[in-house]
Structure 1
């Protein structure tokens, strides 16, 4: 599902296009959880943007994309003369550069909690929820490896259950942490493990029921 169309006249890997018209451009595959996270952040801030699709599996990657994202990671981002890569850096820029609801609280403890959960998404949720359980579904990875991912996923569940309410990091509105978490939880929800980790009635389960219904979030979840 996509909340905005690719840049007019563009197709995957046909060049970076033009971002001088004012709207930011997100470069990447619409199914990427990190591309979705950045687009959710932009939508929560009320920022119109364009998605320029990049083939996630193209090898070698297009030279123009490597110039924007030197490690070849998605998403990359352009706003006028500003070019960035790495989703958390992009979200930090979006939060500071545009009006709209803040994605990070102003108080020191609130900001620290958001950055803590965001770090957990990168360090724990992505490798275990997404790359481990989701990518390993249907017997694609050895049983021992899957057991390790399940154990780590349950540990993360317990940590997040301590901080969820109503949004992750104990915020009253969606934050940068929720932007990152929602696409990863969406992968988890498609798996049998999701029924346990996102169980209704638990703090994390209640968060998932709320976040997935927010239009600015739902429109970007695959």
Structure 2
């Protein structure tokens, strides 16, 4: 059984944990306050899940989800994430994170910064333009005409493959918006982000093309 490490147990991390356990994954989840504070969530998720510190969750995962904002000074466990696919669910929001000049200028995306902070990992931007409750309410089986799509961006095909498989299991089609330098196309305020998980594959592809950088890249 595949284990997903999840760093961050807020709305997004917790909902991904619920979807993962419902689809046959083991989950090791961490937050900033300590494993003992996750008792209610672990009780809800049942035997496939356990709580841990961030480094332990990273070490335990066959791949890892980071569901916390990026900080300019890295606070993720680089050694434990080495060699692993890392799904970064973060959206850059200056009102919350403070201004990152290199992102504001269009020189780099926040996910390229995550990749630089985790140079031995394979980062993919995933789950960034879907509201957490929609992981269940909007899910549809393959072939359903109402099935919606989510995007993935990465510099590594193997990371795109893992995200594509996970999206499919969770009930969504995939649009590949690689590499990470293109991940700004689903940033807050762009057409794909505004629509959240309310677009099928063709609509998402169109919205990605409609995206306009705030400043030239």
Normalising by the smaller structure, the TM-score range is 0.3 to 0.5
Instruction: Specify the structure having the higher radius of gyration (Cα).
Output: 1
TM-score (normalizing by structure 1): 0.32
Higher helix share: 1
> TM-score, structure 2 length as denominator?
0.33
| Larger strand fraction of residues | 2
